[in-house]
Structure 1
Amino acid sequence: PKEMEEAAMMDGATRLQAFRKVIIPIMWPAIIATGLFTMLLAYNEYLFVRVLAPTEWTLPVAIVSLTGGESSRTITEAAAASVSITLPIVIVIILFQKHLVRGLGAGAVKG
């Protein structure tokens, strides 16, 4: 909020100090939430295409095929790969859950 920045500047903070000490801590949960959702979107795009549309190629699938990293030959290997792909996402969300909830609720209207 503008008032908090102005209050910090009235207390003697420079514009950079006000940004670093007031604005960034307020924005941090939203930055974490945005980063998590961006990572999830890119991460899940590969799994979605490989499982539901194996004939379609998106950028992550094309990159993996160019590097020769395609190894799933059977449905069992694909299932194991999907579990191993999902597990890091679950761990990251559990670790950043506090920031994620705060970031999603930052723009909510109380009342």
Structure 2
Amino acid sequence: MNPWKRRDVTIEIAGAYYLLGRELIDTEITEIMRKIEQLLHTRHIASSAIEGLNATLRTYVYARKGVNQGFLELFKAWYNLRERRNGQRKGVSEYESLTGKCVNDWLTLLGFPSSKTAH
């Protein structure tokens, strides 16, 4: 977030907190703040995953001079079915992490002949 937007958001939050303080009693404010803290602790930030996807997709968009919806659907399948090469879950696809089902060949899973037999 840029500094100007951060400043505006900070002022907005401070104003909201001030208005809550004027309208509610201390126990209600405490309960609201507890609920907000719970929400913040359960929220997952995925900016690194999004940045990884964007970095990978950017090379294809640049090489193809734009993409269509069909390409994006195929890219999405490939991206989620491929094995990771680095990191904590190296050798496991996103699909396998979520479903527990091993993906030996992503094209076969989509209903195409195995890429290992098609030359």
Task: Give yes or no for TM over 0.5.
Answer: no
TM-score between both structures, scaled by the size of structure 1:
0.30
Please identify which structure carries the higher helix content.
1
